[in-house]
Amino acid sequence: MRFYDKDCNPEQLSPLTLAFIGDTVFDLFVRERLVCLANRPVNALHSLAVTKVKASAQAEAAKKIAPSLSEKELSVFKRGRNAHTNHKAKNASESDYHYATGLEALFGYLYLSGSLERLRELFDLIEEQ
C-alpha cells in the first residue's frame, strides 16, 4: 500500500532518493507510535519524536535490525549508507549520519515496494526494549 497509487519502481531510484522518502516514512512510524501511546501536548510529542528520528538514534536502529535483514534489504541499506552526500550533519557524527541514511533508504525502498508488513516488523524490532 502506498498513498500515491502510481507505478514507481524503487529498483530504479538512487539511494539518496530512497532516503528522501524513507526519512518521512520512518518519521510517520515514530509519530504514529507516540500518538497512539498517549495523548500528550504537541510540544512533548515533538520532543519525543526528535529523540527517535535524529541521526544517532537512527544509526542505533540500523545496527539493531541489521542481523534481521534479508540479502536484498542489506544491499539497499548499504547503498544508502555508502552514498556520497553533499550534506554535513549538524548534530551527528559522519558515521551516524551515513547509517541513518542507510536506514532511511531501506525504509523508502520497502515503502515504495509496498512492503508495509515488513516495515512494521522492522519498526517493532527497533522499538523492542
Encoded amino acid at 98, one letter = H
Which H or E run contains 70? none
Burial class (CB in 10 A: 0-12, 13-18, 19+), 67: exposed
SS3 label, residue 38: coil
Q: How many CB atoms lie within 10 A of CB 113?
A: 17
Q: Does 27 participate in catalysis according to the annotation?
A: no
Which of 7, 23, 96, 124 is an active site residue?
23
Q: Which residues are catalytic?
A: 23
